Amino acid sequence: MEGERKVGVAVDFSPCSREALQWTVDNVVRQGDYLILVSVRPAGNYEQGEMQLWETTGSPLIPLTEFSDPNIMKKYGVQPDPESLDIVNTAARQKEIVVVMKIYWGDAREKICEAVDNIPLSCLVIGNRGLGKIKRVIMGSVSNYVVSNAVCPVTVVKHWVKE
């Protein structure tokens, strides 16, 4: 992956992250890029040896063929939704890009910023749930934190509730 653009998208497979993924495919990735889906799971007590190893460094880069397989993803505790899988499979084929996933465990704000540094990412796209000012102050905003702390360009795609 040396010298290639590595475009990251933070995904939790919600409608909000799906919109960010679609926006990235439509507006950012181009032939030859690596599209890296960064997913963060809550920290927990994992019994399996692999999980304990990956808890600090994140999973290895998981190729599209593997993260499209529900049986393989079960061991990571991640269930990509069919719509997101369709978006990345179509993009991989039509735009001739390489799609991989990296999974982290812990605080989403910190782990997404770690991904930017460790992979390293050329740029990152993240969705925004559109919390009001009060909820954002109480709950904190992952996208605000990442915009303020990531060392690469970050684009925030606002989630619009359709009426």
For residue 83, what is the domain's CATH number? 3.40.50.620
pLDDT band for position 131 (50/70/90)? low
Range name among 17-31, 42-56, 94-108 with the lowest pLDDT average: 42-56
Q: Mind listing the pLDDT tens digit for each residue in 136-145?
A: 454 458 888 9
Q: Mind listing the pLDDT tens digit for each residue in 47-85?
A: 555 566 677 788 999 999 999 999 888 888 888 999 999
Residue 85 lies in a domain: yes
Residue 108 lies in a domain: yes
Residue 163 lies in a domain: no
Query: How many domains, in total, are found in the chain?
Result: 1
Residue 74 lies in a domain: yes
Residue 1 lies in a domain: no
pLDDT at 28 over 70: yes
Residue 61 lies in a domain: yes
Residue 134 lies in a domain: yes
Range name among 35-44, 55-64, 129-138, 140-149 with the lowest pLDDT average: 129-138
Evaluated on CA atoms 129, 54, 70, 102, the torsion sign reads positive
Domain that holds residue 115: 6-158
Q: Distance between CA atoms of 60 and 38, rounded to whole angstroms?
A: 11
| pLDDT at site 118 | 93
Question: Other C-beta atoms within 10 Å of 94: how many?
Answer: 10
Mean pLDDT of 38-42: 92
